[in-house]
Amino acid sequence: MGNTSDPVSADRPGAKLQRSDSGAAGEKDLAPDLEDMKTGRQARPTVIRWAGGGKEVCITGSFNNWSSKIPMNKSHNDFVAILDPLLYSFTRSCDPALLPEPNHVMLNHLYALSIKDGVMVLSATHRYKKKYVTSLLYKPI
């Protein structure tokens, strides 16, 4: 029962894991990995959230070569998918229609700020090619 070479002993409830190697040899094996983590940038997983509602939300992307839809996990008020720490292109689908990208809600929007210190501020947002440009006009009154 106290034998650490027993492969089943670590799987029992309440069993404690014990090191089977000596302390010095184990530290030498772990040292290069710890130094790599200190010098390199730590990788963090990619978390994708969807709060747009729905009964079933799936995700597909470059992480699986756009080959299949992966269902996202239902969390409190949203859906969550956790991916490996890499750069991805992806899209979501919900119930099961593919959702389009929403229009920019402030496009061609004119905004007037209240007059403060004798200056009135007007702003307008327009689309130029694939970018959004906001112009500000400061007018002394």
Among the residue ranges 10-14, 66-70, 133-137, the one predicted with the least confidence is: 10-14
d(CA 137, CA 125): 12
pLDDT tens, position by position, 118-138: 999 888 887 777 777 888 889
pTM value?
Answer: 0.35
d(CA 2, CA 32): 32
Across 1-141, where does the E strand assignment appear? 46-50, 57-61, 70-71, 73-74, 79-83, 90-94, 97-98, 109-116, 119-128, 131-140
Position with higher pLDDT, 56 vs 100: 56
pLDDT tens, position by position, 19-52: 444 444 444 444 444 444 444 556 677 788 888 7
The domains of the chain, with CATH numbers, are 46-98 (2.60.40.10), 109-140 (2.20.25.290)
